[in-house]
């Protein structure tokens, strides 16, 4: 299998069009058609419905793997290139919105004070953008957060290719507007809130999919979707009574107009994990080390790969 074929496949799937994909890849659409046909023949299964162009079940599975393979090949290329031509040390940190906490900021501070002239940047991005950035080498380190059961890893398969370290865990809270009927309680169980109106803000907090998975099979109908990476907007919406949201307790604490009640069941946590390219320059290594040393870090040593 040639990776170009996989790239063609994912492009076609994304464009939902052979001709558009051909255009994007600087090929003729005949070539694209032939590549897809050859791929289907080799795997012995139909991968795409035509007209409209939509992946079949087998196609969806392949798509998932193909994306990861392409990402990993990119990562390999980047690593090898970096080894043979180490550029000037820079620090590019990518983070999903709630993953960049005070300790991360301290780590940036520590690195910048140790490498005075260092060109450093911090990007707050969607989770997938962080994963892709780290994989392709645009980012030196990535911080991703998620809502998981205490014993589960974050499910970022895209970054399975990279070094992974657990960094911190934090309790979760349900954010309610101040006047909410349940606002007087001491704690909440997710089960009691299945039918409540929820705000689905997958980029910021735990997505409703996560909650559904954690709760078993609850409904959790979204009352309002909130796209983008802005926490304040989400809190404002909660405060305005537009729905509930699950957010880390530390984030909820200072917020106005909302009440944050501990979520006691199921046992979920907000976890931050650190991902980084397997080849780091001194600045990147310094960041990781600084985060390691930072106070209140629950983590201790063991690094995945």
Partner DNA sequence: ACAACTTACGGGGGCCGTAACAATT
Partner DNA sequence: AATTGTTACGGCCCCCGTAAGTTGT
Which residue, 47 or 245, is less far from a second copy as judged by CB? 47
The count of chain residues that interact with DNA, using the rule CB under 7 A, is 20
CA distance 36 to 20: 14
Distance (Å) of CA 297 to CA 179, 243, 270, 284, 302? 35, 32, 14, 18, 13
- In the list 53, 130, 143, 162, the residue contacting DNA (rule: CB under 7 A) is 53
CA distances from 270 to 169, 176, 261, 263 (A): 6, 18, 15, 11
Helix (H, G, I), strand (E, B) or coil at 205: coil
Q: Which stretch binds DNA (CB under 7 A): 20-28, 69-77, 87-95, 150-158?
A: 20-28
Contact string 49-88 vs a second copy (x = CB under 8 A): --------xx--xx-xxx-xx--xx-xxx-xxx-xx----
Residue 9 · residue 62 · CB < 8 Å: yes
Q: Alpha-carbon dihedral of residues 300, 102, 152, 133, nearest 10 degrees? A: -100
Is residue 202 involved in binding a second copy (CB under 8 A)?
no
| Cα 79 to Cα 85: distance, rounded to the nearest angstrom | 10
Tell me, by CB under 8 A, how many residues bind a second copy.
Answer: 66
The Cα 137–Cα 278 span in angstroms is: 10
Question: Which one of the spans 109-117, 124-132, 155-163, 252-260 is the region binding a second copy (CB under 8 A)?
Answer: 155-163
- Among residues 55, 97, 133, 166, the one that binds a second copy under rule CB under 8 A: 166
- When asked if residue 264 is in the footprint of a second copy (CB under 8 A), the reply is no
Q: Answer yes or no: are the C-beta atoms of 297 and 289 closer than 8 Å.
A: no
Site string for a second copy, 280-299 (x = CB under 8 A): ------------------xx
Q: Which CB atom, from 40 or from 210, has the smaller least distance to DNA?
A: 40
Q: Are 284 and 162 in contact (CB under 8 A)?
A: no
Asked if residue 37 binds a second copy (CB under 8 A), the reply is no
Range in contact with a second copy (rule: CB under 8 A) among 20-28, 157-165, 238-246, 253-261? 157-165
Which entry of a second copy, DNA, none binds 259, CB below 5 to 8 A by partner kind?
none
Q: Name 259's bridge partners.
A: 176
Instruction: Identify what 53 binds: DNA, a second copy, none; CB under 5 to 8 Å per kind.
Output: DNA
The answer to whether residue 188 forms part of the interface with a second copy (CB under 8 A) is no
Question: Using CA atoms, how far apart are residues 86 and 279, in angstroms rounded to an integer?
Answer: 10
The strand pair at 258-265 and 188-189 is best described as parallel
What tokens does 100 get? 């960049």
The Cα 24–Cα 97 span in angstroms is 31
**Which residues of the shown chain bind DNA in the complex (CB under 7 A)?**
2, 4, 17-19, 26-31, 33-38, 50-51, 53
**Which residues of the shown chain bind a second copy in the complex (CB under 8 A)?**
1-3, 43-45, 47, 57-58, 61-62, 64-66, 68-69, 72-73, 75-77, 79-81, 83-84, 147-157, 159-161, 164-169, 210, 213-216, 266-268, 271, 273, 278-279, 298-305
């Amino acid at each position: 299998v040639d990776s170009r074929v996989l790239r063609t496949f994912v492009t076609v799937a994304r464009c939902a069009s052979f001709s558009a994909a051909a255009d994007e890849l600087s090929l003729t659409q005949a070539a694209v058609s032939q590549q897809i046909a050859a791929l289907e023949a080799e795997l012995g299964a139909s991968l795409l419905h035509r007209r409209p162009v939509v992946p079949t079940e087998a196609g969806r599975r392949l798509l998932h793997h193909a994306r990861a393979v392409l990402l990993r090949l990119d990562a390999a290329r980047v690593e090898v290139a970096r080894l043979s031509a180490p550029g000037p040390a820079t620090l590019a940190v990518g983070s999903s919105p709630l993953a960049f906490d005070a300790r991360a900021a301290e780590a940036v501070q520590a690195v910048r004070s140790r490498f005075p002239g260092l060109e450093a940047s911090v990007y707050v991005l969607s989770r997938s953008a962080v994963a892709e950035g780290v994989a392709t080498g645009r980012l030196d380190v990535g911080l991703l957060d998620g809502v998981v059961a205490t014993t589960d890893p974050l499910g970022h398969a895209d970054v399975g290719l990279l070094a992974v370290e657990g960094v911190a865990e934090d309790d979760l809270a349900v954010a309610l507007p101040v006047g909410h009927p349940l606002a007087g309680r001491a704690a909440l169980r997710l089960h009691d809130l299945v039918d409540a109106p929820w705000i689905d803000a997958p980029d910021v907090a735990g997505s409703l999919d996560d909650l559904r998975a954690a709760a078993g099979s609850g409904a959790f109908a979204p009352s309002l979707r909130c796209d983008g990476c802005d926490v304040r907007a989400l809190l404002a919406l909660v405060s305005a009574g537009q729905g509930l949201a699950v957010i880390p307790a530390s984030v909820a604490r200072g917020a106005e107009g909302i009440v944050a009640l501990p979520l006691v069941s199921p046992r979920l946590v907000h976890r931050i994990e650190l991902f980084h390219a397997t080849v780091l320059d001194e600045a990147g290594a310094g960041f990781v080390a600084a985060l390691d040393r930072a106070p209140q870090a629950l983590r201790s040593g063991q690094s995945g790969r």
